[in-house]
Structure 1
Amino acid sequence: MLGTLKVAARDRARLGEVGAVMSRFGLDVLLARLGLGSAQDQPEPFDLPDRTRRALEALGPTWVKLGQIMATRADILPPEWIAAFEQLQSAAPRVPFEELRPAVEAALGEPPETVFAQFDAEPLAAASMAQVHRATLHDGTAVVVKIRRPGIRPRMEADLRLLGEVARVMERSNAEARRFGATKLIRQLGSAILGELDFANEGRNADLLREDFARDARVLIPRIHWDYTSEALIVMDHIPGVPPRNAQVLRDAGIDPA
């Protein structure tokens, strides 16, 4: 299946993990269609788009981001694939704080219990790249602490290298892949993902947005607390809100979701 890909020794273990997930979700037909396998004679499962979506979720943030990009490409994918990929979420299982503590203390230079007047070890939210915890500064300001998951950068860099090789193989054997520029798409994905991993960059962008909307009272951008922010951790004001897709909560608040 994926064993024919030419990858560096450092990426072979990850390639094996990817292949195992693809097999678990029965994606041999999809891989053959992409020029990465030999299952052309097998019937295509009726739920192939949903199987692919679940496989991407199992493989982690790099693959989820790829699916989210593909969900915007109605010029390439039929409606059932777009619908499946639109369901991709960045949510992830919550990690016990003690597993994150070494990374937090390295970023802050001291324990969070010292830096903050109060720090909640119970996560407020968790996504594929980071986990968020509530805290209170010593001046009483309520903040959230967004912590990058340890070890995620090398895993995502390995995934991007694998996807780059997949794209090159696809373009050699698939005219459609050449038409929509598979390798260019993966470069775009890599640029977006590696940029998101730098939380200091996220903070700078938030500052720019706050300046741009300084005169618009309808827009509230959380303040970044730079004394505690770094590439792997960002601290910002806690602003209560509701998910934009939660139409019922918006109606209860007197807001028209339309």
Structure 2
Amino acid sequence: MRRALYRGLRLWTIARVLVRYRLDVILFTLKPLRPLSFLLYLAPWNWFRRTEGTRGERIRRALEDLGPIFIKFGQMLSTRRDLLPDDIAIELARLQDRVPPFPSDQARAVIEAELERPIEIAFAAFEDTPIASASIAQVHAATLQDGREVVVKVVRPGILKTIRADLEVMHLIADLADRYWSEAKRLRPREVVDEYEKTVTDELDLIREGANAAAIHRNFEDSHLLYIPEIIWDYTRRSVLVMERIGGLPVADVAALRERNVDLKLLAERGVEIFFTQVFQHNFFHADMHPGNIFVDATHPDDPTYLAVDFGIVGSLLDSDQRYLAENFHAFFNRDYRRVAELHVESGWVPKDTRVDEFEAAIRTVCEPIFQRPLDEISFGQVLLRLFQTARRFNMEVQPQLVLLQKTLLNIEGLGRQLYPQLDLWTTAKPFIEKWMHERMGVRAFIRNAQQHLPRLLAHLPELPMHLEKALTVEEQRAERDAALRRQILELENGLRRQSRRRNEGWAGVALLALAGLATQLEVTAWQGLAWPVWPLALFGAGILLFSLRPGPRRRARDGDA
């Protein structure tokens, strides 16, 4: 009852917000309400009010009014540019996940419940004023008993209940849209809400986030490109995450970086290198690399290092996707659109019956005008985005791992261009892709794979004759089963034919009997002097019927042979 009441109130709030920002017209695009669209002109609130802002701005402001869960949904939706018009996606990307902090006594209560000890025992010092606050959690500074400076991330109390309630409303709206909205087939609202539910639920588990951070920390342990804070596992629980506190300049504070004489060109290029290293070497990438999560260690301005936090969203690729993606990039660098089209078909990203020549022409139409511009003006992320949009016309299924990759690439490229506007991402990325192709698909890769698998193959070599004999036996058994199955099918077909013949002959006999009976009736009445005696016809019809119901010796012999 309480949940139903909450849904009703929430839907009423959503309706009010839609009316406030003149988004009520969306409701009248639904099939059942389309004939009633004239009511928009009869609504009093539409008589004197003017529309302020573009549709993208109004949608963004509506989500901000609906609260943090809807803000986060809008942020996720902004990454699905394969589904949204550009103007709406750009506005949604401006959503800021800034939420007032919850009281420190609630944070203390959550921490003490999770750690099963008082704050004063767990920490030598704990700052009640949070240093950051978002929709899911907020962060406090603290000091461990051994003197290490840490940050404590605490999940908002009761947030799970709020998320579940709002998700129910989102699912209800998605179901209605899927049923009545003409654009639902293309935008797939149910699938979008399902994806958001998985993402936001994963972010609630801080142990999972800690594991992600530890994996990336281990991958870059000996690298000067990126540093990931250490997770303090003794203090980490599902709703509490404690990690090493890092210093550094926000990556978006370009003025401060210039004051420290940081090499911005090198910093921008290293951001690209970090991305391709994570995607193609580690196959595990930080998928939420917006400026709020990235800092710069400017201790050595000529050798700057990135610092990253917040690992609730990560991504990885299947080996096949990784290989096909690398080959796609390589083909793009060489403007080999035919190979790009073939790779999409081979990988299963588009249906197997796709005309490669038509797909190639569509890709060339999109990409060739872009490549006429200077390389440092070409957005790598936008090219990838347009490629996916073009592939959608050929019924390309959306790959969630590729959507995360596209989002991360757009973040990295935007970050790099903000630091160094002349960043030539193509020149920076091409050697990396070529090296990966050479290592994974060249002669060295063949030799390395052979060396890797040779011991296992040699171990099974003595068993090879036995396996061959077993394979031959299995093949013979399969051939016998196939022959038996063919005989059964043939017998079944013959039986069906016999039944059909008997049924047809039987009906023929019945027809003759009916004809004979009709003739007899006519003979008895009007045609007594003119008609033939019809009792022979009746006997003949009965004989035909009996013959059709019981086959003779010749037919029985033929059926038996069959």
**TM-score with structure 2 setting the length:** 0.42
Q: Secondary structure at the match of 2:249?
A: coil
What aligned pairs does 1:41-190 form with structure 2 within 5 A after superposition? 41=40, 45-47=51-53, 48-190=55-197
Q: What is the distance in 1 between the residues matched to 2:120 and 2:178?
A: 52
CA displacement at 1:39 relative to structure 2: 6.0
Q: What is the distance in 1 between the residues matched to 2:235 and 2:136?
A: 19
CA displacement at 1:52 relative to structure 2: 1.9
Q: Secondary structure at the match of 2:235?
A: coil
Range moving further from structure 2, 76-85 or 42-51 = 42-51
Contact 2:171 2:190 in 1 (8 A): yes
CA displacement at 1:112 relative to structure 2: 1.6
Distance 1:246 1:72, change over 3 A: same
What residue number does 1:200 align with?
207
Say whether 1:212 aligns with 2:219.
Answer: yes
Contact 1:35 1:170 in 2 (8 A): no
Residue-pair matches, total = 252
Distance 1:99 1:26, change over 3 A: farther
Q: Secondary structure at the match of 2:61?
A: helix
> Which whole-Å deviations, capped at 9, do the CAs of 1:124-144 have from their partners, x for residues lacking one?
111111111100001110000
Q: Which runs of 5+ in 1 are unaligned?
A: 1-6
Range moving further from structure 2, 7-16 or 86-95 = 7-16
CA displacement at 1:8 relative to structure 2: 4.2
What residue number does 1:12 align with?
8
The structure, 1 or 2, with the larger RCO (C-alpha pairs under 8 Å, 6+ apart) is 1
Say whether 1:29 aligns with 2:53.
Answer: no
CA displacement at 1:35 relative to structure 2: 6.8
> Which whole-Å deviations, capped at 9, do the CAs of 1:63-105 have from their partners, x for residues lacking one?
1222112222334333331221111111111223123232222
Distance 1:36 1:59, change over 3 A: farther
What residue number does 1:249 align with?
256
Say whether 1:234 aligns with 2:234.
Answer: no
Distance 1:22 1:149, change over 3 A: farther
CA displacement at 1:119 relative to structure 2: 0.6
CA displacement at 1:23 relative to structure 2: 4.2
Distance 1:83 1:11, change over 3 A: same
Distance 1:16 1:230, change over 3 A: farther
Contact 1:61 1:156 in 2 (8 A): no
Q: Which amino acid aligns with 2:130?
A: P
Contact 1:92 1:126 in 2 (8 A): yes
> Which whole-Å deviations, capped at 9, do the CAs of 1:161-216 have from their partners, x for residues lacking one?
21111111111112312212111111110000000011111011111111122221
Distance 1:61 1:45, change over 3 A: same
Q: Which amino acid aligns with 1:242?
A: L
Q: Secondary structure at the match of 2:209?
A: helix
Q: Which amino acid aligns with 1:209?
A: I
Q: What is the distance in 1 between the residues matched to 2:238 and 2:72?
A: 20
Q: What is the distance in 1 between the residues matched to 2:109 and 2:32?
A: 40
Q: What is the distance in 1 between the residues matched to 2:63 and 2:135?
A: 12
Q: What is the distance in 2 between the residues matched to 1:10 and 1:46?
A: 30
Distance 1:97 1:115, change over 3 A: same
Range moving further from structure 2, 40-49 or 245-254 = 40-49
CA displacement at 1:241 relative to structure 2: 2.7
Range moving further from structure 2, 24-33 or 183-192 = 24-33
Contact 1:28 1:39 in 2 (8 A): no
Distance 1:240 1:93, change over 3 A: same
Range moving further from structure 2, 125-134 or 174-183 = 174-183
Range moving further from structure 2, 12-21 or 143-152 = 12-21
Kindly name which structure, 1 or 2, has the bigger radius of gyration based on alpha carbons: 2
**Greater share of helix residues, 1 or 2?**
2
What residue number does 1:4 align with?
none
Q: What is the distance in 2 between the residues matched to 1:109 and 1:35?
A: 55
Q: Which amino acid aligns with 1:162?
A: V
